[in-house]
Amino acid sequence: MEFISNIIYGLIYGAILGAVASGLTLIWGVMKVVNLAHGHLAVLGAFLAVIFYKYTPITIDPSLSPIIAFIIGALFGIFFYYTSLHVIVGKAETMTLKVEMSSLLSTFGFGVALYGLLYYGSAQGWYLQFEGLTGWTIQVGGKPYFEILGVSIQYSWLVGLFYAVILIALVELFLRKTVWGLAIRAVAQDSRAVALTGYDPVKVKLLTTVLSTAMALSAGAIFTLYIQNGINPDLEHFLAPLSFVIVVLGGLGSVIGTFIGGLIIGLAYGITMALTGTQAIALSVSFVILVVILLVKPQGLFGR
């Protein structure tokens, strides 16, 4: 029974990791900006969730924080674009490897700055955690969890799962069903042709960055619904590599692939936990899975 519990926890966890990676799918998989700040942006979202709950005059329930983090993330995305990306990608006609590498460096710089800021904040005594705040969890009938077939599941995890699925469905719809989604895909392939087709390429790139940043922050807030304590800047060291693994695993630019990739990694965590009783080597296991899948299918599960 414990094994089954671990599998189910792993799947919920995986869906949430997929949500964390979905913003990266958009900016890296589709627009070809290697956004090394992605993990830091997610951590910022997690911080915001705690700040809203703990440090604002009006307490905002964490179950609403993904929405607020999304809005703040969108504004922050404008700042992120004009400080780190505009000079590099704004005028780029096609996202060549050279442009990709430059974007890697500039977003790395932005990420380090953000990390420093969050770290400074933590050192100042706002080491942020939900510890001792068990009261916030969503309770139904006086209990924070429910049991089904002997597996107990927290309500807050369900809320997190709900948001994760919504977020991923949102990007998929945006990319497949809207013209702006088409424009984003086109702009990475030939941005001059996008201008000749009546769209402002800079606007398209800005929009992509804004959306991706909003998703990163929102996913960070969703993540707090799952882990609930120990939110600190170093979370990035875990979220960023996993996001990259998930995006590559699913296939660059495939949103559904990202979701499935997330579930696979979540399962790896669940099974590792069930077999070894600790998650210590789960990150390594994730990379082994990545290598194996890339050997069999170099373009990723859903890549074309």
Binding site for another protein (CB under 8 A): 179, 182-183, 185-186, 189-190, 192-193, 195-201, 304
Q: Are 157 and 165 in contact (CB under 8 A)?
A: no
Q: How far is the CB of 201 from another protein (least distance, A)?
A: 8
- Classified as helix, coil or strand, 145 is strand
Q: How far is the CB of 258 from another protein (least distance, A)?
A: 17
Closer of 204 and 239 to another protein (Cβ): 204
Closer of 123 and 196 to another protein (Cβ): 196
Residue with tokens 């404008």: 78
Buried (b) or exposed (e) across 42-81, using 16+ Cβ within 10 A?
A: bbbbbbbbbbbbeeeeeebebbebbebbbebbbebbeebb
Closer of 85 and 184 to another protein (Cβ): 184
Q: How far is the CB of 183 from another protein (least distance, A)?
A: 6
Closer of 88 and 252 to another protein (Cβ): 252
Q: How far is the CB of 203 from another protein (least distance, A)?
A: 9
Query: Of how many residues is the chain composed?
Result: 304
CA triplet 177, 184, 188: central angle to 5 degrees?
140
Helix (H) / strand (E) containing 152? strand 151-154
Beta 151-154 vs 145-148: how paired, if at all?
antiparallel
Dmax (CA) for the chain in angstroms is 60
Q: How far is the CB of 78 from another protein (least distance, A)?
A: 20
Q: How far is the CB of 128 from another protein (least distance, A)?
A: 42
Closer of 196 and 280 to another protein (Cβ): 196
User: What residues contact 63, with CB distance under 8 A and at least 6 apart?
Assistant: 138, 156, 159, 225
Question: DSSP code of 146?
Answer: E
Give me 76's structure tokens. 């922050």
Q: How far is the CB of 198 from another protein (least distance, A)?
A: 4
Which of 255, 276, 171 shows the shortest CA–CA distance to 213? 171
User: What residues contact 178, with CB distance under 8 A and at least 6 apart?
Assistant: none
Give strand pairing partners of 151. 148
Closer of 169 and 186 to another protein (Cβ): 186
Closer of 96 and 152 to another protein (Cβ): 96
